[in-house]
A = this chain, B = another copy of it.
Amino acid sequence: MIIEKHLEDHVIGESHVTTGRTVTEADIIMHAGQTGDWYPHHVDAPWCATQPFKQRIAHGTLVFSVGIGMAASVINPHSMSYGYDRLRFIRPTFIGDTIRVRTTYKAIREHKTPGHGLLVEGVEVLNQHDEVVLACEHLHLVKRRPGAQTA
């Protein structure tokens, strides 16, 4: 779905939550496959049983990539992904956990690109216990409304 929104059309504080997705052993195998990261923390069950978490944990990059993908439901032609700040892995995600994503427009910042500004979107990946497992700030470079003044 395509929805055009200029920088000024985003309401700070507005929040969305996605539907859920259960993280499976297959997701971990496929992510290990794509990235080449077969560390025992993700794929060696007996070894994990001897560690503090007692079981295999999803890759941080898996939870991040899937979370960002789940949050991407609407295409805005005036916006492009600029980067991420303060990406933190707060709790482990285990096989069988179900995650959903809460996004919140947190701030608008100046940017040197003429006619554009940075939209700071808070992204939190939540598990089935409503705990935050991953948090970051997604920076979007968004076109200002035609004729808008830069501060």
What is A's interface to B at a CB cutoff of 8 Å? Answer: 1-2, 19-22, 24-27, 29-40, 43-47, 56, 59-62, 64-66, 68-70, 72-73, 75, 81-89, 96, 98, 128, 136
Q: A30-B29, A61-B69 are in contact. Are A75 and B39 (CB under 8 A)?
A: yes
**Contact between chains at B36 and A22 (CB < 8 Å):** no
Within 8 Å by CB of A64, from B26, B32, B61, lies: B61
A66 contacts across to B, CB distance below 8 A: 34-36
A interface, over-half SS: mixed
Within 8 Å by CB of A34, from B33, B82, B96, lies: B33
Within 8 Å by CB of A88, from B2, B32, B47, B82, lies: B82
A46 contacts across to B, CB distance below 8 A: 20, 22, 98, 128
**Contact between chains at A69 and B35 (CB < 8 Å):** yes
**Contact between chains at B21 and A38 (CB < 8 Å):** yes
**Contact between chains at B87 and A37 (CB < 8 Å):** no
Q: A34-B34, A61-B65 are in contact. Are A45 and B26 (CB under 8 A)?
A: no
